[in-house]
Each structure stands twice: as C-alpha cells, then as structure tokens.
Amino acid sequence: MAGVSTGTVDRVLHNRGEVSESSKKKVQQVLKEIHYRPNMFAIGLAGKKKYLICCLIPKYTPDDYWSFVAQGIEQAAEELNAFHVRTEYIYYNHSSIESYCEAGAILLTKKPDAVLIAPNFKKETLQITGQLSERKIPFIFIDVNIEDAGAMMYIGQDSFQSGYIAGKILMNKYARDKEIVLFISEYNQNSFEIQMQRRLEGFMKYVSESCDHITIHEVKLGNKNDQEDKQILTAFFKEHPCVKMGISFNSRIYEVGQYLEENQIQFLRLIGYDLLPQNIELLNKGIITLLIGQRPGLQGYCAIKVLADKIVFKRDISPMKYMPIDLIIKENILYYVESYNL
C-alpha cells in the first residue's frame, strides 16, 4: 500500500535502521489510514529478553500506606509475568539518609532495565537519578515529584491542588475570628515533607483568598515519640481550648483523632489523608470528618505498567499521571474500602 519494501515497513514500525523521510511518511500515512495497532501480547510472548524493574520504596508494615503501593506493584507484575517482566524491591528506612543512600547503591548494582522510585532526600535522589540517566535506565517517580531530576513520568496527586481543596472543605465551617490548627510534621529534611509543604501552600492559598480575621496555630508533631506528641497536644489544648477545627497534611491524622477521643474533645472538623485502618475507624466514629485518598495501590500498579510499556512494548510515555483527589466521608467510605487500591 505504501509502495515500499517489507523491510522498510519493518524498520518504520520498530524505529530502527535508516529510512528515507519520504518512505517513512508513506508508511506512516498508510498506518494511519488503516488504524494500525500492533498486537502487543504477541510481541511480548515472542520476545526472549527478560526484564528487571527495581522498586525503591520505604520499608512498610501491614496496612500502612506503602503496603498498598506494594499490592499494586504485585498485581501489575503478575499480569506482566508472561512478558518476562520481573520486579524486585529495594527498601529504605523512611527517616534515614544513610539507609536511603545504601538502598540507592544496591539499586545501581542490580543493573535494572527500569526503575520505580519513591523519592526521598532531594540531593541524594539527584545523585541516584543522575547515574541512572548516565546509564540510560528509565525511571519514574511515584507519590512525590522532584521536577529537575529528569524522571520519565510522575504518578501521584497534584499536592498543591489537594491542599487547596482541603482548605475549601475545612473552611466551610469558618466564621469570623475563628481559630484553626495545622498539625505539621517536625521533620522537614526529606522529599516527603516537600509534598506536605506543597499541600500546606495550597491550603494557605485558599485561606488567603477566602478568609480573613482568622487565627492559625501550628502544632509540630514528630514520628518517633508518641508520648511526647501527647504532651505537646495536651499543652496546646490547655492553652487554646476554643480551637475546634484542624487538619494534618499526612496520613498520621489518627494520632490526633485518638487523642481527641481519649480526652473527649469535640471538633467541628478534622481532616487528614489516606485510608489507613486507624483513620477509617475514627472516620466511622465521626471523630475525623474527612479523609483525602491518594490511591496508593493504583500508583504502584500504573508505575509498573508504564515502565513495561516503555521497555517491553516501546510505547511513548506522557510525563504526568495525576491521581484522583478522593474526598471520603463516613457516608461513602464503604464504596472506597473494597476498591481503594485500584
């Protein structure tokens, strides 16, 4: 149909070898006219190459955020097993630079065909991704994006927009001269806290546009000493008994919710992130007002599928895949729990 040889068509289809511009245009025009679509399943089964995708993610415990990410990864890996795609985890301690660097060094020894990264500690991430780029190994980020690292794709929420929406919901109960509290993580040295900062910026953008005469308090809570956090909360509520609205920009809102429940403190609104079992329990009790879901399982699933599209099926990849910003309340939680991962 294009008036060229079978070999020329083959070279155009697989983007290899030299083809004149005029012949290439003729073949591409015919492909467009006939709505050509390659049989990816047949291509994958016919190939003999084996592929390794390494997943650099934090260590996790059952039912925490990253366990859901891993479930999505495993489902995608199972679907790609027939195409000789294998996944391997390399874990790091979320709060340790040393652990992160060690995991990055192990990653580079694996000689992977592609890499999924949950980035942490920006400087160290750039060192890892710089070496991946030198070796022409494609990599994508999930959950947190570091824009200048050269990732092939980012999969996750628009954190700024998520914070803006959270502000709009929380401040729906706002009245002039009210006080609100922001529960902030005191650890700000890693990339996950960059994400929290972007949510905070989105939140404050809404507040600046829509609210005035408002007092905003910040309570800094750590991730290591629960007893110390309780003491911080006790001191705060003793000094500010009129505060009845608050938000956390991470998944540990259950710590605040549990404290409020134990001390019989009633909030008008309490907002946090992610469908962890502790958060769901407090949502059902009415202590947490709303949770913002990020679909961690879908992030992991899509990441492996995208990398397979790149290295196995040679498809073009878009640079961004934003996750939905799920707004979950007590009345609709049942519709999310069963299908939350994917």
Tell me whether residue 238 is exposed, middle or buried, using C-beta atoms within 10 angstroms of its C-beta: 0 to 12, 13 to 18, 19 or more: exposed
Q: What single letter denotes the amino acid at residue 286?
A: G
Tokens of 189: 């040295």
- Note the pLDDT of residue 47: 60
Q: What single letter denotes the amino acid at residue 296?
A: P
CB-CB contact of 291 with 270 (8 Å): no
Reported as a single tens digit per residue, the pLDDT across 224-272 is 678 899 999 999 999 999 999 999 999 999 999 999 999 999 999 999 9
Tokens of 294: 């990020």
Reported as a single tens digit per residue, the pLDDT across 268-312 is 999 999 999 999 999 999 999 999 999 999 999 999 999 999 999
Tell me whether residue 291 is exposed, middle or buried, using C-beta atoms within 10 angstroms of its C-beta: 0 to 12, 13 to 18, 19 or more: buried
d(C-alpha 196, C-alpha 124), whole Å? 19
- Sheet containing 320-322, strands listed edge to edge, beginning at the edge strand earlier in sequence: 85-92, 51-58, 114-117, 139-142, 154-156, 320-322
3 state DSSP class of 288: coil
d(C-alpha 304, C-alpha 87), whole Å? 8
The chain-wide mean pLDDT, for the chain, equals 90
Tokens of 77: 């890996």
- What's the CA angle centered on 277, arms 146 and 325, to 5 degrees? 40
Q: Which long-range contacts (CB under 8 A, 24 or more apart) does 231-239 make?
A: 233/259, 234/263, 236/181, 237/263, 237/265
- Note the pLDDT of residue 286: 97
Reported as a single tens digit per residue, the pLDDT across 168-209 is 999 987 777 789 999 998 655 555 577 888 999 999 999 999
57, pLDDT greater than 70: yes
- Note the pLDDT of residue 99: 95
d(C-alpha 177, C-alpha 245), whole Å? 13
Confidence of residue 212 (pLDDT cuts 50, 70, 90): confident
Q: Sign of torsion, CA 53 325 196 244? A: negative
Closest to 39 in 3D by CA, of 30, 47, 50: 47
> How far is residue 288 from each of residues 183, 271, 280, measured CA to CA in Å?
14, 6, 8
DSSP strand pairing (290-293 vs 326-328): antiparallel
Closest to 168 in 3D by CA, of 196, 193, 195, 205: 205
> How far is residue 325 from each of residues 225, 273, 296, measured CA to CA in Å?
30, 10, 12
Q: What single letter denotes the amino acid at residue 121?
A: F
The set of residues, in sequence order, having a beta carbon less than 8 Å from that of 35 and lying 6+ positions away, is none
- Note the pLDDT of residue 218: 94
In this prediction the pTM is 0.83
Q: What is the DSSP letter of 200?
A: H
Domains defined for the chain, CATH in brackets:
6-37 (no CATH), 45-156+296-322 (3.40.50.2300), 159-293 (3.40.50.2300)
